[in-house]
């Protein structure tokens, strides 16, 4: 059990990675496919209206277009949600909250970008307040072009995502673990060098088995200071940490 | 109640009491009043107290770098007279400081906060000039004419021109989106 | 890893605590946040926190041509975009001295009133959802979709129409759309009693909404409240009547008011306004059948369209309150400055902060929806 739970600040060998599909046993592969199949049919959408695209979500979910008939339903908390819809442009202030929400979601998690403004800025290409490319900051599984996308387009892209989850192709969330250093660097370039989140993404990467050479680097080295600092602030945590270390030895 | 025909003249009587005020009636229930900065609070107070101009519709700010001035426009509406007075005031850009009218019109609190954030004008006596929209912004006030938006966007968001190889090929043959 | 989560400050035992309400919260309207300080579940202080939807519209408009800005303005208020187009178009017309043909004026009134009905249906559904009645959400949104179909037929878009241009409208009405509008209005009238039973006669609604979020008329006037919220406090004031534009003086309609000033009164004003909008639309349909003619005055080359120098302040009654556009031209092809005054700039910040004080935590979402606050309008 202790091997599964990530411990803050713990050093692990960097060879920790998930076995490829070919290396897995037949039983494991069948179970994975079954899990993917089930997962694709019960998507919970995080209820976060980040931009104007959210005005087309009520029609999509309520009686007329009715996404619930394919198993898509809104969910109010990030931790229980599978799918994050970025409904339109993101101001810098919102992007921070989006990243916090995204990191709280459990993997596997999926992101869809609504509208032209998430692709390249759209009509706000020269606005000083909105970010231009969403996929520079979090990995994105699919985009819908247009301003604003119609409910049919939303349905289409969600059905497409379901098909890709079912066949095991919707793997953008792994990129966040594999290239966390790059993502963190881009986020910090926008939010300032002080930027860090409460989620220990590096430990999560180890936990899910997607700790790659790009997970840590110059930018994640900065996070150690905050971990050390935070641990020193709470004396009660320190004996806990010592016990963990003892258990390992 | 329709607009009284004699509204400009009754306004005139009030405006005579304040020095440095000039009135220009315009079309469609709009009256432009130019005021000196010192007499603006008195003007708004008199308009509110005697003529019922009690709804502050908006405060607009315009940046005029040529004359080195900020122009503040107070739009007040009267539910009784059914007309809108736009009081224009010009203040110097440096130091960009003016008196708050929050104690006359409560809505001014939000507009002054907004103008402070977007133009950097300081309103003395305003209850709350904390940042509202651009809480993590450390650049110059963005609505100033001197603020270079495109330069800021290029620098901050890494705007890259879309120039893939296939487009270059097309342009080499005389086509493309620029032609 | 976030230091503030591990801050070792020892708080004295107290019933007071702070709560961050939004932006990622199902009860909040749009992308907006309120920081509330609570004692038990009674709100001591509420601080509005906006800016999540800021796009810098006023700056963007200074960098685009007068004609390009038609595409920008509807995006300022998402649920009710048409009044924004109308206010901008009228500001340009006032500056450039353009005359709108009569047929275009009637078509514009039609668009404005359909948009008002759509927005009120949206608020109706959302407001009911904040007190746990989800059927209204489904009914309101599906009813609104019938009107969105009409928008789509007339303009080609469901939400952002970009239909009202300076000097008229973009194109003429399609064949037979007035009949279909009439049929939709009949359907709406047929369903109105059902909405009444479901919401306004509902014991849950009456218990939750009566006496919640009260704004007295005196406060409403002092705090700059406009639109249905002001009429819910008892003042029969409407920009369509007081500061008339387009052909509103030729139309017969009432200005519904309520005197209580609470959340229920504001919703009842909205319900009565939908009835008045249907009444206006029926008159418009009748008049439009008899008016032929151009739908737009001739415009110069839009790429080299210099508007004479000057300034104009235009007001339009939207479903949320008074929309104001202040446009300044220096004689060039682009606006020198455009200032947007949205009604929610008052309702969602200062008024909301004051009304929430002394209220209870479970009423925050309901009060915000009953004020019909529209966050994109605040942030622009």
B76: helix, coil or strand? strand
Q: Which domain holds residue C351?
A: 6-379
A128: helix, coil or strand? coil
The domain locations on chain B are 7-138, 148-179
Q: Does C11 touch chain A if contact means CB atoms closer than 8 Å? A: no
pLDDT of C256-267, one tens digit each? Answer: 998 888 889 999
pLDDT level of residue A120 (50, 70, 90 thresholds): confident
Distance CA C353, CA C357 (A): 7
Of all residues in chain C, the percent with pLDDT exceeding 70 is 97
Considering only residues B18 and A134, tell me which one the structure prediction assigns the higher pLDDT: A134
pLDDT level of residue B24 (50, 70, 90 thresholds): confident
pLDDT of C211-226, one tens digit each? Answer: 888 999 988 988 889 9
pLDDT at C280: 92
pLDDT at A172: 86
Considering only residues A168 and C371, tell me which one the structure prediction assigns the higher pLDDT: C371
Q: Does B55 touch chain C if contact means CB atoms closer than 8 Å? A: yes
Q: How far does the CA of residue A124 sit from the closest CA of chain B (Å)?
A: 11
Query: Across residues A129-144, what is the average pLDDT?
Result: 88
Separation in Å, CA B98 to CA A194, B95, C179, C251, C360? 36, 9, 57, 44, 38
Nearest CB neighbour to A126, from listed B135, B136, B150: B150
Distance CA C367, CA C262 (A): 9
pLDDT at A247: 47
pLDDT of C298-355, one tens digit each? Answer: 887 777 788 888 889 999 999 988 999 999 998 888 899 999 998 988 888 889 998 9
- Chain A neighbours among B 10-69 (CB < 8 Å)? none
Mean pLDDT of chain A: 80
pLDDT level of residue A201 (50, 70, 90 thresholds): confident
Put simply, the answer to whether B136 touches A129 (Cβ < 8 Å) is no
The domain locations on chain A are 16-170, 173-249
Query: Across residues B86-102, what is the average pLDDT?
Result: 88
Tokens of B101: 């009218």
Q: Does A193 touch chain B if contact means CB atoms closer than 8 Å? A: no
Distance CA B105, CA B51 (A): 15
Q: Does B163 touch chain A if contact means CB atoms closer than 8 Å? A: no
Contact partners for chain B, using 3 or more CB pairs closer than 8 A, are A, C
pLDDT level of residue B1 (50, 70, 90 thresholds): very low
pLDDT of C17-32, one tens digit each? Answer: 888 887 877 777 778 8
Q: Report if residue C154 sits inside a domain.
A: yes
Residue A249 reports pLDDT greater than 60: no
With a CB cutoff of 8 Å and minimum separation 6, the contacts of A83 are: A43, A44, A45, A46, A72, A109, A110, A111, A112, A158, A161
Residue B10 reports pLDDT greater than 80: no
pLDDT of C310-321, one tens digit each? Answer: 889 999 999 988
With a CB cutoff of 8 Å and minimum separation 6, the contacts of C214 are: C260, C261, C262, C355
Q: Does A121 touch chain B if contact means CB atoms closer than 8 Å? A: yes
Nearest CB neighbour to B157, from listed A96, A131, A191: A131
Q: How far does the CA of residue A125 sit from the closest CA of chain C (Å)?
A: 10
pLDDT at A131: 87
Which of B60, B128, B132 has the most C C-beta neighbours within 10 Å, making it the best mutation to test the interface with C? Answer: B60
Query: Across residues B147-165, what is the average pLDDT?
Result: 77
Q: Report if residue C248 sits inside a domain.
A: yes
Nearest CB neighbour to A93, from listed B136, B150, B159: B136
Q: Does B156 touch chain A if contact means CB atoms closer than 8 Å? A: yes
- CB A108 within 8 Å of CB A101: no
Q: How far does the CA of residue B106 sit from the closest CA of chain C (Å)?
A: 6
Nearest CB neighbour to B142, from listed A121, A128, A190: A128
pLDDT of B110-133, one tens digit each? Answer: 999 999 988 889 998 888 888 888
Which of A9, A48, A49 has the most C C-beta neighbours within 10 Å, making it the best mutation to test the interface with C? Answer: A49
Residue C295 reports pLDDT greater than 70: yes
Residue B179 reports pLDDT greater than 50: no
Chain C residue at shortest CA distance from B150: C63
Query: Across residues A160-186, what is the average pLDDT?
Result: 87
Residues of C with Cβ-Cβ distance to B3 under 8 angstroms: none
Q: Which of A200-204, B166-170, C136-140 has the highest mean pLDDT?
A: C136-140
Put simply, the answer to whether B134 touches A127 (Cβ < 8 Å) is no
Residues of A with Cβ-Cβ distance to C56 under 8 angstroms: 127-129
Helix or strand holding residue B110 (H, E): helix B108-119
Class of domain B7-138 (CATH, top level): alpha beta
With a CB cutoff of 8 Å and minimum separation 6, the contacts of B162 are: A120
pLDDT at A224: 77
Query: Across residues C75-88, what is the average pLDDT?
Result: 89
When mean pLDDT is compared across A210-214, B14-18, C5-9, C58-62, the lowest value belongs to C5-9
Residues of B with Cβ-Cβ distance to C328 under 8 angstroms: 62
pLDDT at A237: 56
Q: How far does the CA of residue C134 sit from the closest CA of chain B (Å)?
A: 32
Chain C residue at shortest CA distance from B111: C345
Angle made by CA atoms C220, C226, C227, in degrees to the nearest 5: 125
pLDDT at C269: 92
Helix or strand holding residue A17 (H, E): none
Nearest CB neighbour to C3, from listed A58, A148, A230: A230
Number of A/C CB contacts below 8 angstroms equals 114
Put simply, the answer to whether C52 touches A97 (Cβ < 8 Å) is yes
Q: Does C158 touch chain A if contact means CB atoms closer than 8 Å? A: yes
pLDDT at C12: 61
pLDDT of C183-218, one tens digit each? Answer: 999 999 998 888 888 888 888 888 888 888 899 998
CATH 3.40.50.12280 assigned to domain A16-170? The reply is: yes
Q: How far does the CA of residue A186 sit from the closest CA of chain B (Å)?
A: 10
Residue C118 reports pLDDT greater than 50: yes
DSSP states of A20-85 as a string? PTTTS-HHHHHHHHHHHHHHHTSEEEE----SGGGGGHHHHHSTTT-GGGGTEEEES-GGG-SEEE
Sign of CA dihedral C279, C282, C286, C291: positive
Put simply, the answer to whether A91 touches C55 (Cβ < 8 Å) is yes
Mean pLDDT of chain C: 87
pLDDT of A31-62, one tens digit each? Answer: 888 888 888 888 898 878 788 778 888 888 88
pLDDT at B161: 66
Residues of B with Cβ-Cβ distance to C379 under 8 angstroms: 133
Q: Does C346 touch chain B if contact means CB atoms closer than 8 Å? A: yes
Q: How far does the CA of residue B34 sit from the closest CA of chain A (Å)?
A: 34
Q: How far does the CA of residue A168 sit from the closest CA of chain B (Å)?
A: 30
pLDDT at C10: 60
pLDDT at C184: 92
Q: Give the 3-state DSSP-derived string for A176-244, with helices as H, strands as E and coil as C.
A: HHHCHHHHHHHHHHHHCCCCCCCCCHHHHHHHHCECCCCCCCHHHHCHHHHHHHHHHHCCCHHHHHHHH
Tokens of B37: 């900065």
């Amino acid at each position: 059990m202790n091997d599964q739970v990530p411990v803050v600040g713990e050093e692990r060998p960097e060879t920790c990675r998930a076995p490829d599909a070919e290396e897995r046993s037949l039983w494991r592969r069948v179970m994975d496919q079954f899990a993917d199949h089930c997962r694709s049919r019960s998507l919970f959408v995080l209820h976060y209206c980040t931009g104007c695209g959210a005005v087309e979500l009520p029609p999509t979910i309520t009686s007329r277009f009715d996404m619930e008939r394919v198993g898509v339903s809104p969910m109010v908390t990030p931790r229980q949600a599978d799918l994050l819809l970025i409904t339109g442009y993101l101001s810098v202030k919102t992007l921070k909250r989006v990243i916090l929400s995204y990191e709280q979601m459990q993997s596997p998690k999926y992101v869809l970008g609504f509208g032209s403004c998430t692709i390249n800025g759209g009509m706000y290409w020269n606005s000083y307040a909105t970010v231009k490319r969403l996929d520079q900051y979090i990995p994105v599984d699919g985009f819908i072009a247009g301003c604003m996308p119609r409910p049919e387009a939303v349905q289409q892209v969600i059905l497409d995502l379901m098909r890709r989850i079912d066949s095991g192709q919707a793997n953008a969330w792994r990129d966040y673990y594999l290239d966390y250093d790059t993502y963190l660097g881009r986020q910090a370039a926008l939010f300032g060098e002080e930027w860090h989140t409460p989620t220990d993404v590096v430990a999560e990467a180890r936990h899910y088995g997607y700790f790659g050479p790009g997970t840590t680097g110059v930018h994640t080295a900065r996070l150690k200071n905050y971990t050390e600092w935070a641990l020193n602030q709470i004396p009660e945590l320190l004996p806990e940490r010592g016990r963990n270390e003892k258990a390992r030895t | 109640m329709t607009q009284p025909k004699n509204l400009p003249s009754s306004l005139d009587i009030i405006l005579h009491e304040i020095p440095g005020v000039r009135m220009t009636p315009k079309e469609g229930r709009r009256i432009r009043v130019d005021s000196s900065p010192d007499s603006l609070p008195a003007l708004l107070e008199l308009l509110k107290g005697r003529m019922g101009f009690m709804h502050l519709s908006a405060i607009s700010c315009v940046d005029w770098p040529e004359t080195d001035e900020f122009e503040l426009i107070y739009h007040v509406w009267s539910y009784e007279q059914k007309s809108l007075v736009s009081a224009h005031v010009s203040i110097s850009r440096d130091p960009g400081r003016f008196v708050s009218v929050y104690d006359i019109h409560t809505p001014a609190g939000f507009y002054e906060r907004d103008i402070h954030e977007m133009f950097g004008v300081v309103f003395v006596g305003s209850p709350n000039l904390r940042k509202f929209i651009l809480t993590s912004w450390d650049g110059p006030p963005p609505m100033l004419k001197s603020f270079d938006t495109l330069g800021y966007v290029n620098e901050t968001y890494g705007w890259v021109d879309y120039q893939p190889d296939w487009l270059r090929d097309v342009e080499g043959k005389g086509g493309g989106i620029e032609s | 890893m976030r230091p503030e989560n591990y801050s070792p400050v020892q708080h004295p035992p107290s019933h007071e605590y702070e709560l961050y309400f939004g932006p990622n919260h199902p009860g909040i309207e749009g992308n907006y946040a309120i920081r509330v300080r609570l004692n038990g579940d009674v709100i001591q202080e509420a601080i509005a926190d906006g800016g999540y939807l800021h796009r810098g519209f006023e700056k963007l408009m200074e960098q685009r041509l007068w004609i390009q800005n038609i595409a920008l303005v509807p995006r300022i208020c998402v649920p009710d975009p048409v009044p924004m187009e109308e206010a901008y178009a009228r500001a340009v017309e006032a500056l450039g001295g353009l005359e709108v043909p009569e047929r275009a004026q009637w078509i514009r009134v039609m668009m404005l009133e359909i948009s008002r009905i759509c927005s009120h249906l949206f608020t109706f559904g959302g407001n009911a959802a904040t007190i746990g009645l989800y059927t209204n959400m489904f009914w309101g949104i599906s009813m609104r979709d019938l009107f969105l179909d009409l928008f789509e037929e007339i303009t080609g878009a469901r939400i952002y129409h970009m239909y009202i241009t300076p000097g008229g409208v973009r194109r003429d009405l399609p064949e037979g759309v007035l009949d279909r509008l009439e049929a939709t209005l009949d359907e709406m009238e047929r369903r109105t009693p059902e909405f009444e039973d479901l919401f306004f006669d509902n014991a849950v609604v009456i218990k939750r909404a009566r006496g919640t979020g009260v704004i007295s008329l005196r406060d409403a006037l002092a705090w700059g409240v406009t639109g249905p919220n002001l009429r819910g406090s008892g003042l029969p004031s409407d920009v369509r009547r007081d500061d008339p534009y387009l052909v509103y003086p030729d139309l017969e309609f009432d200005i519904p008011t309520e005197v209580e000033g609470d959340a229920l009164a504001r919703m009842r004003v909205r319900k009565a306004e939908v009835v008045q909008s249907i009444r206006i639309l029926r008159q418009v349909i009748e008049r439009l059948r008899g008016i032929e003619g151009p739908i737009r005055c001739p415009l110069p080359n839009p790429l080299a369209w210099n508007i004479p120098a000057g300034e104009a302040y235009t007001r339009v009654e939207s479903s949320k309150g008074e929309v104001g556009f202040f446009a300044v031209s220096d004689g060039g092809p682009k606006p020198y400055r455009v200032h947007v005054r949205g009604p929610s700039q008052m309702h969602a910040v200062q008024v909301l902060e004051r009304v929430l004080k002394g209220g209870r935590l479970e009423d925050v979402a309901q009060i915000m929806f009953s004020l019909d606050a529209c966050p994109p309008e605040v942030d622009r």
